[in-house]
Structure formats: C-alpha cells, structure tokens
Structure 1
C-alpha cells in the first residue's frame, strides 16, 4: 500500500547505545520517513534476559527476528525497530521497538536504564513491561523507573502561557499522553488465587497494585511505584505466561517449532498478540495528533537529542518542534504539487485568462488539500499563509509569462497577416482613386483572419487595438490621398476610423472586465472551499483533543472508584483532577477556538484577490 512500510526482512537498530550516549541511526530514520501511514508503536521494556525479544518476534509474526541470545549476556543494545504492515488495521504500520534490557551488570549505568525506559514511554502507544516469576513487591520495586518519570518528563515548557491558576500538577496530566501499559509476566508458575478465589490476570495485577494505608516513609515508598502505574497509564492489562518449554530447551526458543512449545504458553501468547493487535492505538502526541512514520522519525530524533543535551524532554516542545518540521515539509510538498501542475500548463501557453484562472484554482485547491493532509498544529495559519504566498507569487509570474507569450505570438501573427498589405503600400496599390476602399477591404479581411486564429491568449484583443492605433495614421494618409472621395466622404471615413478604434478599445475593456469577474468568482469559490476544509481540519484536531481528554477522564474515574473504597483523601484529589480535565474539555467548545486561525486565512484570500486586480487592470 502506498506510504506503507518498506520491506524489512529483519529488525534494524534505531537508537544506538554508545560511549558518547544514545545516538539515533540515520538509516533507520530514513526508513521511517518513507512511511506516511499512521503508526501503532509497541515497545517492550524490562530486565535483561527475560525474553522480551521473543514477544516482539511473535508480534512481527516472523521468526527469527529480534536477537534472543542464549547466554546471560544481554543481546539487545540500544533500541531496535521492526516496521511491518499492521495485521488488523488496514493502512496502518505496526512499529515494534525492542529496548535494551534494564539492569545489565555490564553497563553499570542506572541513568542509562532510566532513559531507555523513558524513551519506551515517550515513543510508544503501548508499552509492554516484561518480567519473570510473579508480580510481588520485589518485582514492583524493580520497576522504580516509573516513579522517576516525574523528573524525566515535562508536559509543558516552563513559560507556557496557557497554564491556569488552578492547573493540576504535571504528573497528573501524564495519563493524557502516556501509552497503554501491559505487564507480561513470564515463567509464571503460581495459581492465580486471592483469598481462595480464582482471579483473572487483570485482577491479579490490580491486587498487586493495591495501596497501603498510612503515612510512614515505608508505606509511602511502598505506594509510590504503584500509584505511578495507576495514575500515569490510561489502561492496564496483564498476561501471565507459563514456561514455554523445558529449561534445557530455553536457549533454543527462537528456533523451536510451535509444536514443541507448551500449548498453554501458546494460548497466552496468542491472546497477548490478539490483544496488542486489536487494542493498541495509533501513536499520538500532545493534542491528540496522530503520528505517521515520518512524524515518528522526527519525534525519535527530537527526544534523543534533548536527552543528550542534558535537558528534560518536554511533550509540548517536542510537538512544536515536530510540527515545525512536518509543516514546512507539508508546505514544500504541496507547493511542488502546484509547481508541477503549473509547469504542465506552461506547455500550452498562451491561453485565455479564464482557463488559466480555473486551472490555478484547481491546482491551488489540490495543493491546499495536500498541505492539510500532512500539516498539524498550524493554529495561527503561519504555514498555510506561507503556502498561499508561494503559490500566489508563482501565479503572478505565470500570468506575466502567459501575457508575454501571448504578446509575442500576436505581434508575429499580425505582422505575418499584414505583410501582403505592406507590400501593396510599397507598390502603390492603394495610391489611386478608390484605393482607400481597397485598403479598408484588405484590412478588414486581415482582421477577420486574425480573429479566427484560436490561440492568441490574453493579449489578443489588446494587441489588435494597438495595431489599429498604429495604422490609424497610415489609413488617414491613404484616405486623404484618394482623389475619388469628396471632403465630406473623407470626414465621414475619418470618423469611422476613430469609431473603429474606440470600438476596439471598448472590446478590450469588456474583455478585461469579463476576465476579472471570472477570476474573482473563481477565487471566491476557492477561498470558501479553503476555509471549509481548514475548519474541517480544526474540528478534526478538536475531536482528537476531546478523545485524548475522554481517555484521561475514563482512566481517572476508574481510579476514583477504586480509591473510594478506602482512600477518601486520594479520591478527593482525584475528583479535583477530574473536574480540571472536564474544564479543559469544555474549553474546546468555545467559539473563539477558530479566531486566531480564520482571520489570517481571510487575509490570504484578500491578498490573492488584490494580486488579480493588479495584474488584470486595463
């Protein structure tokens, strides 16, 4: 499918872990830039040597793929990527990210682990946390990276002007932007029972994330990672995998046929894959904007560059930086589409202004649609204005080129048609009694032939007017020399000559007026269509923001219900957060939403109309 992932027989390294820090791999970014489809990004994180890569190979539906390794040494260094067509969502690409194992003793760098985990959160739409054994306190303590996210991620830049006086703490907004959370527990051998009752995998996870009452340091430390998991991620899911095969065969897991794997393990693996395929959302960024492969490439580089600079990644700044790159690219691509169409039009110059204006409007609309398809967050219409100005400038140049071509063609045509008359004048054919009538007859025949020519362009009538004006003195000279005409006849003939010139001038003026009216009507229709499509674009962006807030509200409401069972203070705080989310959602319905965007767009149309008036003035 057009814009889909290029063939990738195997994963490639996306982010290298070097002595100089994390570095993006340009060849991998180039693969992403070719993907214009929305991407569903699934990242797996977890302690090293826990079988993360096997799960990703199952999701890719290909074996072998991500390196599994057969020793205690971690095989995955940095972050590796595999892009495949989404198996359930047509027109979407599934991007699988296998991250370097956390807690690798060879690295001895906990800060590196924290950033790998942070990137897993920032880049994915679904994050799979892979662990072994059980979800006990020790397992949750190993997930301390989640509690460090408040120090590693900012939602807004420090000078954000949109902050309200009652703005909630940033970590309370993480749920709007964070991925779904899936805990994959490998080599699970226990019975899932609570108080003697069989429970589901999700109930098992919720039980493990229950909070303790109390304010002691020990209780606070116990609750912190659990609260972070509950509050930061919009949805949680758990899968408990039994041992896939006998321990002696584990080193060959990536090459084993399914028939040799435990059937219960395969059932869980199939449920896991089906859930990921069906429930993982398209990757979005702050504001609900959907991410394509191209946008994702920018996002990866932006976050890695920020981390390497020693700064804290900011969701808002990342979106702004990504929007600048994508919107400028959208302008360039849309303009090239317009240029290509207008260059094809130049091949048939000269043409009348009507067809030229109509084709300009058609191509302008096409370019605008192409821009709107790839742009986002152009709230003030800066990039739309840039595109319209570039197209307007080129259109002016083409109007001039078309007129120059028309003028040259008409001059040559008039010269060729007049050549026999010029020869007659040289030979004195009109210098005799009755010569004026012969001259007029020849001239009228020449004008008729000129008008019959169907490819004169916009300057056709104007060049004829100038020609007749130039030959007016010549006609009067022949008229005065005609001895057969009386003085009265000559005065009448002279008046007819003047009337003919004036009639041609009126015809030129009428043609200008007709062309101008047509161009104005075309531009009016084009501007109305442009505004309609941009309003649709803005409404779509508002819808995405509402969906973003709805997901956050749904998550908060679920947590509030759980909190009300025994944590009234925390439930009250949750109620305040819910009300703040509702207020944000209500702001999106404000009629002023379009104000900053529509006014610049209307100005674009006014500038284009002024250009048409200037270039079509009589």
Structure 2
C-alpha cells in the first residue's frame, strides 16, 4: 500500500530503557518516517508479568511477536513497536506499543516507570491498562501513576495558563481513550441482584466517595484522575485462558487449546480496539501520520532526558516546523524533477512550458497540502511557491537561451548560401536585388517551416531581418536595373515587411501572454480551492476536538449531579463554559472576513509574480532598440 507501513516480521524496540535513561532507536524512527498514512496508536501498560504482550500479538493478528515471559522476570524492556496495516480502516496504519512492565523490582531506576507510563499516554490514541484479578481499591491504587500526570505533562507553554484556569482540566481533550483489560477474572459481574456489563463494572469501581477527610481524598484521587483525564472508558474482563500450569506455554498454544470464553472476550476486545480506536491527534485535532509520530516520539524522549516536562503545545510547534519544511522539500522536489525532465526538450514554446509549469506546481501544492499542517500564516506555503517561482524564472531563461541559440544557428545555416553569393558578387549586378530577395524569402520560408524553434522563434527572425536590412538596402541601391522610383518602392516594401514581422512578434507575445494568464487563472482557482479545503478541514478537526471534550464533560457532570457531588459538578460546569467559549471563537474565525486576505491575496501575489516573469521576458524585447 502506498505510503503504508513497511513489512515487519516482528516488533522492534522504539525506546530503549538504558542505564543512561530512555533513548530512541533511530532505525525504528526511520521506519515510522516512511509512513505517510494516519496512524492509530494502541499502547498497553500495566504491572509486569500480567500478559500484556499476548493482547498486543492478537491485535497484530499474530500468534507471537511481542515477548511473552514464562518466568517472574520481565521480558519487555523500554517500549517496543509493531506497525501493521490497519485491519478495519483502509489506508491507515496500526501502531502497537508494548511497554515494559511497571513495578519490576529488578529495575535500576524505578522513576522510569512514571516516564514510561507518561510516554504511553502521550503517544497513544488508545491506552490499554492490563491488570489481573479484579478492579478493587488495591488495583486502582497500583494505577497511582495516573495521579502524577499533571506534574509530568504540560498542555500549554509555560505561562500560558494561570491558577484560575488549571490546565489539567484540558487533558481530556488530548488524552487517549482508556481501556481496562482485567485478566484472570473469576467473579460474577453483579451489583446486588443486578447483572452488570463490563463497562458498568468499571464505572462502579471508579465511583467516588463523599466526604472531605484525608482517607476519602486518597480513595478518590486515582479515580477522579481517570474520570477527568480520559475521554472514553471501556472494560474487558478476561477469564483464565487455560489451566494455570499451562500459562507459560500461552504463546505456543493453539486456539483449540484455549478457553472458548477467553477467546470470545479476546475477539470482542480486538474488534472494539479496531472499530473504535481513533487516529492519533495532536493539540488542535490534527491527525498524526507515521512521519509526524516519529517526531513526537523523539521530541518527548529528548525533553524527558533534558530534565524538562513534556509539553503538548511545544511538541506541536517543533513538529509543525519539521513536517512543514519536509512538505516544502517534498513538493519542490516533485516540481524540480518534473521540470528537469521538461527541460530536456528545450527549447519549447511558451504554451507548453506554461502548461507543464502549472501542472507540476499543482502537483507540488497537492503534495505540500497533504503533508503540511497548522501553516496558519502561510509561511511554508509561500516558501514553496517562492522556490517554485525562482526555479521557473531560471527555466524561462534557460528555455529562451536554448531557443535563441537554436534559432540563430538555424538562421545562420540557412543564410550561408546567401553569404557565399554576396562574397562572390552574385547580387552586385543588374537585377541582383531580385535574385537576393527571392533567395532571402526562400530562406525565411524554410526557417518558418522548421517545427521546433521555441519561445524566441519569431523574435529571432525579426532580429535577423533587422540586422540584414542595411545589407538588403545596399544591394537594392546598387541594382542599376531599377529606377529611383522602383528603388523607393522596394525600400518601402522592405520597411513594411520588417514592420509586419515586428507586429507578428507582438501578436505572438500577446497570444503567449493570454495563454499564461488563462493557465495561471485556472491554477490559482485550483490552488485556492485546495487551500480553502485545507482550512475547513483543520477547522473541523479543531471543532471536533472541542465537541468531544464537551460531550465527555457533560456526561461526567450529569453523573456527578446524580450522585450528589455538587462541587465537582460546578467545577465541570465552568470547564464546559470555557469549552463553549473556545468553540464560539473558532466558529467566528471560520465565518470571519479574513478568508480573502488570508488565502486569495497571497496566492494572487505569487501568481502575479510568475505572470510578470513571463511579461518581462516576452514583451520587453519587442520594443528594444538593441535589434
């Protein structure tokens, strides 16, 4: 599949956990950089030796791949990655991230656990938390890493928020969907006499207690963070896959040897992740491709190693620069290669050159718009168009030089017999002018019949005739056969022929200019259409991000009201109002008057630059005295 994931026979290490800290693996980043499809990123986290890798192998559609340990030793170190074609979403890539087990007693630095957890949250669009047994208070307390996210992740740049608007309320806009996979579950899923679904079981386990004492606050802390940070929550309860004494052989067991109920839950889990898993997005709702994802991985790991706190906004700023510069280069390289192929056929006429320029520029713009994002000030789009305009200017020069050299050589070659006759004095006799004129007109006819003269064909003929006018006049004056009146009439005809050629040059220039104008008009209309589509798409993504966050907050607020948590409901109401204001501001931007200044004017300016290039080269020589 074009721009899809490379064939990977097995997972590769994406982030190493070394004695020097977390380190990205360049070869794995290079794999991601080749992927231009949107990525759905699923990361699994959890305590070590809880069977996380088995679920990831199933998501990859494989029996094995991610390491499954059969001893108490943790097998996965760092974060491992497997990229496969998405089984449900066409032209999407599924990126699976298997993280090392949390709480491994053999770790040199246990502080890495929180950073591994943070990276899983920052990088994924679906976060799977894997645990064993039941979702009780002890299980939730083991997920204490979630309470540290506010101190380990920033949404906005330093100073962008204040105490009255804490940014942890924004996490729900950018954090992944949360899936709790409960392994080896043996209890009946009931509340009193009522059966519960797995999702209801999770929500029951996450219910808050009323009260303000320290014990209640500690009880509510992790639950409150999970409820507030993650936009959607799901639960899957897996029974034992087989007898306990066979668990160490899980990766080699056939499906026929596994518990049918375990397989049913596994299939439901995989289907849910495939169907409901979202494309990874950045702040602003922009979809992430494999290439963009590679930048996120490196930015976040480098930030952690520097001792700083990863910031979503800063990551987007850095990624915008890297990706947009790459988009400019990719678009320009396409244009450059196409025009290099075109230049092999120089000289060509203006119409052919203009049409090829417009075609390749449109393709370059399409490539740029596909890869670029958040180019709000058109800085990178203008950079691409200026580079295209500069190369186009150079190619016009090159094409004209080729045309001028070819035409002048053609004229010189055709003129050689006439020059030889002048040298021999063939025309220096009575009636010589008629012979000269006949041979010169024959030469001109042969020149005009030549098919490939390029942009300067008529202009070079006009220049040639101008330079030979003194010669023709000398032969005319020396012809004793002609009377003075006949000489005057012949001289007038010479002047008239030269003027007709000048008019022909001007008409040709006008036709060329009209062709360029029409081509540029069509190109500009197409360019504007694509830019407006890009703007509308980015606006739609921004609004979807806000709407998703509002829906989540409204659902949570309703539940808080029903359970009597008035204070939490009031806080959420303030957050909802803030989201509404942001949405209104985005809607106003969309309907605002800036579309003309923002898109049409810059595009028209670039178009005018190219048009003026053709104008300067095509019209100026017509009125030059140099000829």
**Alignment TM-score, normalising by the size of structure 1:** 0.97
Question: What are the Cα deviations for residues 109-130 of structure 1, in whole angstroms up to 9, with x where unaligned?
Answer: 3321000000000000100000
Question: What are the Cα deviations for residues 329-363 of structure 1, in whole angstroms up to 9, with x where unaligned?
Answer: 11111111111111111121111111111111111
What residue number does 2:624 align with?
Answer: none
Shift of 1:513: 2.1
Aligned 8 A contact 1:121 1:179 in 2: yes
Equivalent runs, 1:143-222 vs 2, <5 Å: 143-160=143-160, 168-222=165-219
User: Structure 1's 423 and 317: CA in aligned 2 closer, same or farther, altered over 3 A?
Assistant: same
User: Structure 1's 305 and 209: CA in aligned 2 closer, same or farther, altered over 3 A?
Assistant: same
Aligned 8 A contact 1:37 1:293 in 2: yes
3-state SS, counterpart of residue 290 of structure 1: coil
Distance in 1, Cα, partners of 2:597 & 2:586: 14
Bigger shift: residues 201-210 or 29-38: 29-38
- Mapped pair 1:373 → 2:370: yes
Shift of 1:596: 7.0
3-state SS, counterpart of residue 284 of structure 1: coil
Which of 612, 615, 618 is the aligned partner of 1:616?
A: 618
Question: What are the Cα deviations for residues 434-480 of structure 1, in whole angstroms up to 9, with x where unaligned?
Answer: 11111111111111111111111111111111111111111111111
Distance in 2, Cα, partners of 1:424 & 1:311: 87
Which of 483, 490, 493 is the aligned partner of 1:493?
A: 490
- Mapped pair 1:508 → 2:544: no
Equivalent runs, 1:162-561 vs 2, <5 Å: 168-561=165-558
Aligned 8 A contact 1:153 1:313 in 2: yes
3-state SS, counterpart of residue 49 of structure 2: coil
Which of 585, 596, 615 is the aligned partner of 1:587?
A: 585
3-state SS, counterpart of residue 402 of structure 2: helix
Distance in 1, Cα, partners of 2:605 & 2:515: 20
Bigger shift: residues 329-338 or 105-114: 105-114
Distance in 1, Cα, partners of 2:267 & 2:510: 71
User: Structure 1's 596 and 314: CA in aligned 2 closer, same or farther, altered over 3 A?
Assistant: farther
Bigger shift: residues 231-240 or 588-597: 588-597
Distance in 1, Cα, partners of 2:298 & 2:95: 16
3-state SS, counterpart of residue 611 of structure 1: helix
Distance in 2, Cα, partners of 1:536 & 1:323: 19
Aligned 8 A contact 1:183 1:239 in 2: yes
Distance in 2, Cα, partners of 1:44 & 1:482: 101
Distance in 2, Cα, partners of 1:159 & 1:405: 59
3-state SS, counterpart of residue 95 of structure 2: strand
Shift of 1:159: 4.9
Distance in 2, Cα, partners of 1:534 & 1:359: 21
How many residues are matched? Answer: 615
Shift of 1:156: 1.0
Deviation above 4 Å: which 4+ runs of structure 1?
593-596
Distance in 1, Cα, partners of 2:172 & 2:612: 49
Shift of 1:169: 2.1
Aligned 8 A contact 1:379 1:596 in 2: no
Shift of 1:416: 1.1
**Cα-Cα RMSD:** 1.5
Aligned 8 A contact 1:381 1:601 in 2: no
What residue number does 1:82 align with?
Answer: 82
Shift of 1:595: 6.7
Structure 1 alignment gaps of length 5 or more: none
Equivalent runs, 1:49-88 vs 2, <5 Å: 49-88=49-88
Shift of 1:607: 2.9
Distance in 2, Cα, partners of 1:370 & 1:33: 16
Shift of 1:512: 1.6
Distance in 2, Cα, partners of 1:76 & 1:89: 28
Aligned 8 A contact 2:19 2:108 in 1: no
Which of 582, 606, 612 is the aligned partner of 1:604?
A: 606
Shift of 1:490: 1.3
User: Structure 1's 345 and 228: CA in aligned 2 closer, same or farther, altered over 3 A?
Assistant: same
What residue number does 2:625 align with?
Answer: none
- Mapped pair 1:569 → 2:528: no
Distance in 1, Cα, partners of 2:388 & 2:302: 35
Distance in 1, Cα, partners of 2:435 & 2:159: 85
Aligned 8 A contact 1:185 1:238 in 2: yes
Shift of 1:175: 0.8
Bigger shift: residues 376-385 or 577-586: 577-586
3-state SS, counterpart of residue 238 of structure 1: strand
3-state SS, counterpart of residue 83 of structure 1: strand
What residue number does 1:92 align with?
Answer: 92
Aligned 8 A contact 1:327 1:374 in 2: yes
User: Structure 1's 502 and 233: CA in aligned 2 closer, same or farther, altered over 3 A?
Assistant: same
Distance in 2, Cα, partners of 1:229 & 1:594: 41
3-state SS, counterpart of residue 442 of structure 2: helix
Question: What are the Cα deviations for residues 372-393 of structure 1, in whole angstroms up to 9, with x where unaligned?
Answer: 1111111111111111011111
3-state SS, counterpart of residue 459 of structure 1: helix
Question: What are the Cα deviations for residues 224-267 of structure 1, in whole angstroms up to 9, with x where unaligned?
Answer: 11111011111000011111111111111111111111111111
Shift of 1:322: 1.1
Shift of 1:611: 2.8
Shift of 1:367: 0.7
